[in-house]
Amino acid sequence: MGRGRAPRSVVATAVVAAVVALSALVTVRLLREDGTSAQGPVGGAGSSAVTAGADCGEGPCQVVARATVDGKPVELLADAQGGNGRFQAGANVLELTVTALGGRLDANSLSCVGGAVSACLVHARQEGAAIAQLLVDRAGTWRSVDKPYYSSGGVVRLDDVTGDTAPEVVVVQTSPVLARVFALDGSALGCTRRYTSVSQLRGWPEVQLNSSDLRACT
């Protein structure tokens, strides 16, 4: 018997299958060209996600800043916009109030000083001023000092002002122009005299004070 033509229904089915396969290939090609992938990494270039399960808000945390304190690493974590911040030192993870107050973290948001008592400041810009959160390491455990530090002069920094080998917190304000100094427990230690310009503060903007600069705050 001679070979006959395939039924029209078989031909139609084959054509439809070919069209579906071709459409799938085109879709995959377009997704690759757009950089879209259901399993692709989250975050921009240079970002680094922490271990699975860690999250900052609605997405995985990214490492935005790192430092070494007494030979051990500490990290700032945040979402892709620099919000929902976390401070991580080993297994010790603390939420950050500065981001809850509207501040955003970046690569310059972390500064740390080692000493008899080690401490870190987490800085965030807020409408031309600076807001900072203090974290203190005592006996290997990091804790946050509840009180945030606000500087209208844009400077909050750690410095050993009193010479006791532990840092203090120096906060610059502009009305009036002076620097306030706080101990690591949040208690006030004193203020500098009043100036007419922040540039008169010694070492500005890396303000460097000593105990002789301090007097009662008025």
H or E element that contains 31:
helix 8-34
Evaluated on CA atoms 151, 156, 161, 166, the torsion sign reads positive
Nearest of 174, 185, 184, 164 to residue 207 by alpha carbon: 174
**Residues 160, 115: contact at Cβ < 8 Å?**
yes
Say if residue 60 is preceded by a cis peptide, omega within 30 of 0.
no
**The predicted structure's pLDDT at residue 201:** 96
Mean pLDDT, rounded, for 30-50: 32
Rounded Cα distance between 134 and 144, Å, is 6
- Which pLDDT value is given to residue 215? 96
Is the confidence at residue 27, as pLDDT, over 60? no
Between residues 209 and 146, which one has the greater pLDDT? Answer: 209
53 pLDDT more than 50: no
Q: How far apart are CA 128 and CA 131, in angstroms?
A: 10
- What pLDDT, on a 0 to 100 scale, did the predictor assign at position 153? 93
Q: What is the pTM of this model?
A: 0.74
With a cut of 60, say whether residue 40 has pLDDT above it: no
In sequence order, the 6+-apart residues with CB closer than 8 A to the CB of 198 are: 153, 155, 172, 174, 177, 204, 205
Give pLDDT tens digits for 156-188. 999 999 998 889 999 999 999 999 999 999 999
135-145 mean pLDDT: 93
Q: pLDDT at position 59, please? A: 83
